[in-house]
Amino acid sequence: MSVVNVAHVTRRSALCVPAGDDRKLTKALESGADEVVIDLEDAVAYDDKDRARAQLATFVWPAGGPQVAVRVNAIGTPWCHRDLEVAASITRVSSVVLPKVESRADLGFVERLLAGLEAEVGRTEEVGVQALVETAAGVVALADIVSDVRRLTAVIVGYADLAASLGRARDIEPAAWRAVQDAIVLHSRAAQVAAIDGPFLGVADDETFRAAVADAAALGFDAKWVIHPRQVAGVNDGFTPSEAQVDHARRVLGTLEDEATAGRGAAVVDGALVDEAMARAARQILAKVGQ
């Protein structure tokens, strides 16, 4: 069975859409988002979960389009295993988003269920797992959560539930989340999986939203969740390197290559000494634009 590591697939924006509404799902698939996350959890009422899941199972998928993930209900709820069953049966679904992850054991439980479900339907490509960290216990357990990657492809910050877990106001100043954001990026980088910033808790594409996107990109996140199609372009723009950054990256790598050919270790670009660390950063920038 092949494994697709979503961490190495270009992804800037992940648009969340409620399950059970084919019109909204179709619109999301056409939004320009790099990934569409179909939500069977918070966006679906308790008494509507079975209908929404059944409707997802019969959705007629258009050819092509973005990556697709399904946000299942949390472990221990009456719906989790049925959500996983449907997700594994849909070829277009490349990963599931597991909410309220608090340990490596949580991921292991879901991985074992997925293995059996994939065998049942004859699926040849493994379903990845994205860990949504949205409780105090989950933040504290980050080292354990990423200790054995297996199917883990990304770690996501869940701001709304995390605010409730910590007793914080949802509209608290962005700087108050810095410690959590740094922890997510640090542990994701150490495990070589994607670090994804949670959604801006509003639907406008305004200056405040764009500032939040720029901040997440500067902190090292690979992508950001959005909750409205109008925000997709802003996230894609914010997580796409500028022409100046791409040009600088090319010159860094070109200069280092020239110096190495000439037998010299040191190189200077734009008046600054460059080294292998800058070369790694340059390669990351070029990878984001497919070079």
| DSSP letters spanning 96-156 | EEESS--SHHHHHHHHHHHHHHHHHHT--BPPEEEEEE-SHHHHHTHHHHTSS-TTEEEEE
Residue ranges, the chain, pLDDT below 70: 1-9, 265-266, 291
Q: Are residues 203 and 278 in the same domain?
A: no
Distance, in Å, from the CA atom of 175 to the CA atom of 96, rounded to the nearest integer, reads: 29
Q: Are residues 262 and 186 in the same domain?
A: no
Q: What is the CATH number of the domain that holds 17?
A: 3.20.20.60
Residue 60 lies in a domain: yes
Tokens (6 digits) for 41: 């959890």
Residue 259 lies in a domain: yes
Q: Residue 265 has what pLDDT?
A: 63
Q: Are residues 210 and 255 in the same domain?
A: no
Q: Residue 74 has what pLDDT?
A: 98
Give the angle subtended at the CA of 121 by the CAs of 117 and 126, to the nearest 5°.
60
Q: Are residues 25 and 67 in the same domain?
A: yes
Q: Which residues constitute the domain of residue 247? A: 243-288
The distance of Cα 231 from the centroid of its chain, to the nearest Å, equals 16
Q: Residue 142 has what pLDDT?
A: 98
Q: Are residues 231 and 248 in the same domain?
A: no
Q: Are residues 34 and 60 in the same domain?
A: yes
Q: Are residues 191 and 270 in the same domain?
A: no
pTM: 0.88
Tokens (6 digits) for 160: 């709304």
Q: What type of residue is 229?
A: P
**Beta-strand (E) ranges in 162-265?**
194-197, 223-226
Q: Are residues 85 and 145 in the same domain?
A: yes
Q: Are residues 220 and 249 in the same domain?
A: no
E strand or H helix that includes residue 37: strand 35-39
Residue 1 lies in a domain: no
Alpha carbon separation from 185 to 77, 142, 143, 153, 157 (Å, rounded): 29, 10, 12, 13, 10
Counted domains in the chain: 2
Tokens (6 digits) for 40: 């069977």
Q: Are residues 221 and 259 in the same domain?
A: no
